[in-house]
């Protein structure tokens, strides 16, 4: 039982260290992002979706999220 408890404590510590790393990564990324850069990345992603063989119709409305319809169904 002690082995199991030790293993679980090690796993908890690993997850804590991973979470700290993710938080630091997000701080670094967030400090360099601008609204224009985010819009550019969104446009690139939408273009890739529109060119996909699975996505047939992309409708851009007033919201920031496109409506993508698959005409196969």
* pTM of this prediction exceeds 0.85: no
32 has pLDDT over 80:
yes
CA nearest to 55, candidates 41, 65, 69: 69
Q: How many CB atoms lie within 10 A of CB 53?
A: 6
Rounded percentage of the chain residues whose pLDDT exceeds 90: 36
Pull the structure tokens for residue 38: 């985010």
């Amino acid at each position: 039982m002690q082995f199991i408890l030790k293993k679980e404590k090690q796993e908890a510590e690993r997850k804590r260290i991973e979470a700290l790393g993710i938080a630091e990564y997000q701080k670094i990324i967030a400090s360099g992002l601008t609204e224009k850069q985010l819009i550019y990345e969104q446009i690139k992603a939408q273009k890739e979706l529109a060119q996909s063989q699975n996505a047939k119709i992309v409708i851009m409305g007033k919201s920031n999220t496109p409506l993508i319809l698959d005409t196969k169904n």
